[in-house]
């Protein structure tokens, strides 16, 4: 990929997830799938065949299968069950809230309590927000932030369908959170921070908005070995949640420089299996893995 600046990277990510929100992947192939593919082909920054997480590396385009242009992707529910979401949790969601875009289950590590304020970074169509809202209950609040207008529109529509009152969706960047200082008990996020070109800023903003004693409980893709240059430079692997991944030492230093303590990063080796399905036939899963990232903002 040609050298892109941070705004160009964010535009490519926004374009990719805008199309994903409009139904270019997950579940049955939508009626307008062909239009999605034409949009892909005509996009200024070409974002090859895939939608959501997963990609078709430029070198493999001719033999690519899957993605919105060539057939149904893995069902979102099947993907989420494999990540540890229960059938009951999935059945409780409004239709269309789960796009199968996660790479872990932040709910499982967040220990959300009744009455807490929860912030979801990169909330997509709202899946983790709706689940968190059930746990916090009416006295709590869940805020979902996403920079893609189509995702925010979809999430708001999903909220209307359920009539849920304690969830808000805000359009914004996780590097410049539209959230007040010292306001949040717990930050969750599922497969998003790898997509940011300014990860240190994401962690510093997370620190700013958390109350003292507040925590982050994130699932994300991390780097376990240096990506070969051709994979690093593949934009479709960046928007597909892989090429932007940071190494464990880098994430640890972003967190500690932001001020966090009790940092725990736990790579999940077994996740290589589903990452392999994101890019069939590619070696990418040899270099990245899903991990949980936890840390605490110390009390003053
Ligand atoms: C892989 S999807 C995950 C969505 C959701 N967390 C889920 O599990 O269904 C990534 C989401 O993060 C959003 N996103 C990516 N980079 C972002 C940024 N810098 N600021 C805000 N949102 C971002 C995208 O618009 C997209 O909705």
Q: Any idea what DSSP says for residue 71?
A: S
| More reliable by pLDDT, 66 or 281 | 281
Q: Write the pLDDT tens digit of every residue in 30-83.
A: 334 444 443 443 443 434 445 667 665 544 433 333 333 323 356 899 889 999
> Residue 19 above 60 pLDDT?
yes
Pairwise CA distance, residues 257 & 271, whole Å: 28
pLDDT at 43: 40
Q: Is the CB of 146 under 6 A from ligand 1?
A: yes
Strand partners, 19: none
**CA of residue 127 to ligand 1 center, whole Å:** 12
Place of tokens 């796009």: 99
Ligand 1 mutation pick, 80, 122, 201, max ligand atoms within 8 A of CB: 122
Pairwise CA distance, residues 275 & 181, whole Å: 36
Q: Write the pLDDT tens digit of every residue in 131-176.
A: 999 999 999 999 999 999 999 999 999 999 999 999 999 999 999 9
Q: Are 207 and 119 in contact (CB under 8 A)?
A: no
Pairwise CA distance, residues 263 & 296, whole Å: 7
**CA of residue 300 to ligand 1 center, whole Å:** 31
Q: Which atom of ligand 1 is nearest to the CA of 18?
A: 25
**CA of residue 119 to ligand 1 center, whole Å:** 13
Strand partners, 123: none
Q: Is the CB of 221 under 6 A from ligand 1?
A: no
Q: Is the CB of 124 under 6 A from ligand 1?
A: yes
What's the mean pLDDT when you consider all of the chain? 87
Pairwise CA distance, residues 188 & 138, whole Å: 19
Name the residue at shortest CA distance from atom 3 of ligand 1.
101
Pairwise CA distance, residues 146 & 156, whole Å: 12
Strands (E) in 153-224, as ranges, are 167-171, 184-190, 210-223
pLDDT at 55: 65
Ligand 1 mutation pick, 192, 203, 237, 292, max ligand atoms within 8 A of CB: 192
Tell how strand 167-171 and strand 184-190 pair up: unpaired
pLDDT at 279: 86
What confidence tier does 281 reach under pLDDT thresholds 50, 70, 90?
A: confident
Name the residue at shortest CA distance from atom 25 of ligand 1.
148
Name the residue at shortest CA distance from atom 5 of ligand 1.
124
Q: Is the CB of 15 under 6 A from ligand 1?
A: no
Q: Write the pLDDT tens digit of every residue in 94-141.
A: 999 999 999 999 999 999 999 999 999 999 999 999 999 999 999 999
∠ Cα 168 136 17 (to 5°): 40
pLDDT at 36: 46
Q: Which atom of ligand 1 is nearest to the CA of 125?
A: 9
Which is nearest to 126 in space by CA: 146, 149, 104, 103?
146
pLDDT at 65: 30
Which is nearest to 187 in space by CA: 119, 126, 124?
119
| More reliable by pLDDT, 4 or 246 | 246
pTM: 0.90
What confidence tier does 198 reach under pLDDT thresholds 50, 70, 90?
A: very high
Q: Write the pLDDT tens digit of every residue in 141-152.
A: 999 999 999 999
Q: Is the CB of 21 under 6 A from ligand 1?
A: no
């Amino acid at each position: 990929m040609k050298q892109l600046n941070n705004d160009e990277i964010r535009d490519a990510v926004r374009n990719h997830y805008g199309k994903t929100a409009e139904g270019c992947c997950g579940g049955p192939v939508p009626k307008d799938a062909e239009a999605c593919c034409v949009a892909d082909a005509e996009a200024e920054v070409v974002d090859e065949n895939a939608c959501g997480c997963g990609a078709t590396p430029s070198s493999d385009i001719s033999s690519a299968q899957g993605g919105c242009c060539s057939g149904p992707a893995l069902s979102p529910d099947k993907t989420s069950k494999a990540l540890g979401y229960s059938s009951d949790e999935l059945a409780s969601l409004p239709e269309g809230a789960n796009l199968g875009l996660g790479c872990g289950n932040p709910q499982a590590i967040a220990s959300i309590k009744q009455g807490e304020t929860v912030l979801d970074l990169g909330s997509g169509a709202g899946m983790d927000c709706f689940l968190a809202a059930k746990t916090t209950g009416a006295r709590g609040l869940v805020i979902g932030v996403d920079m893609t207008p189509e995702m925010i529109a979809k999430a708001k529509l999903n909220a209307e369908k359920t009539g849920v009152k304690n969830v808000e969706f805000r359009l914004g960047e996780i590097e410049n959170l539209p959230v007040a200082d010292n306001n949040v008990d717990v930050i969750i996020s599922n497969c998003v921070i790898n997509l940011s070109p300014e990860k240190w800023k994401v962690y510093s903003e997370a620190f700013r908005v958390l109350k003292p004693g507040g925590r982050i409980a994130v699932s994300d893709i991390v780097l376990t070995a240096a990506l070969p240059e051709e994979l690093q430079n593949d934009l479709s692997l960046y928007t597909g949640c892989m090429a932007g991944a940071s190494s464990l030492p880098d994430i640890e230093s972003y967190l500690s420089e932001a001020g966090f303590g009790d940092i725990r990063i736990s790579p999940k080796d077994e996740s290589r299996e589903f990452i392999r399905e994101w890019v069939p036939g590619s070696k990418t899963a040899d270099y990245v893995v899903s991990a949980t990232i936890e840390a605490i903002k110390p009390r003053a």
